[in-house]
Amino acid sequence: MYTVLAIWAQEWFGGIDFFSPGLIVFLQAGRWKSALWSACIWGIMQEGAGSLSFGSVLLFDVGLIALFFAGRWLLEPENPVFVMVLAGITVLWREMVVWGLGTLQDLSISLTPFPLLAVQFFAYVLTWACIYPLYCRVVPYAQG
């Protein structure tokens, strides 16, 4: 269900990633297999839709997971402050991945303007704020 809604949201709001908050929820709940399979399925869908060579979504997701585990040492993953900090760093990580891989392909990629980065940040936080409580309600043992 979430996959369908995320695809629909990405169609309506082009350039905004709605899959990463779902991955964060699986990681918060300790659902490692679900996170892995979802990242693979969502990654294949996103790789096919992008114009960069294969690997940008894979690199982004691996970085997101690494950032999650690194941040988990500082704050509780269920804490909204943790999610906001992770969202802010993830927005910058996404920008670095796109710019870095675009440069490797000799593409002229300009950096995303700050207002669009802010939109992505708020999309991460608001999407998480909507789906995390729903996930915890539907899957009672989901709270990490």
Mean model confidence pLDDT for the chain: 88
User: pLDDT tens across 10-21, in order?
Assistant: 889 888 889 999
CA distance 11 to 46: 12
Longest dimension (CA), the chain: 48
Length of the chain: 144
Confidence of residue 103 (pLDDT cuts 50, 70, 90): confident
pTM > 0.85: yes or no: yes
For 37, which DSSP code? H
- Rounded to the nearest angstrom, the gap between the alpha carbon of residue 37 and the centroid of all alpha carbons in its chain is 14
* Average pLDDT of span 111-139: 92
Q: Is 138 exposed, middle or buried (0-12, 13-18, 19+ CB in 10 A)?
A: exposed
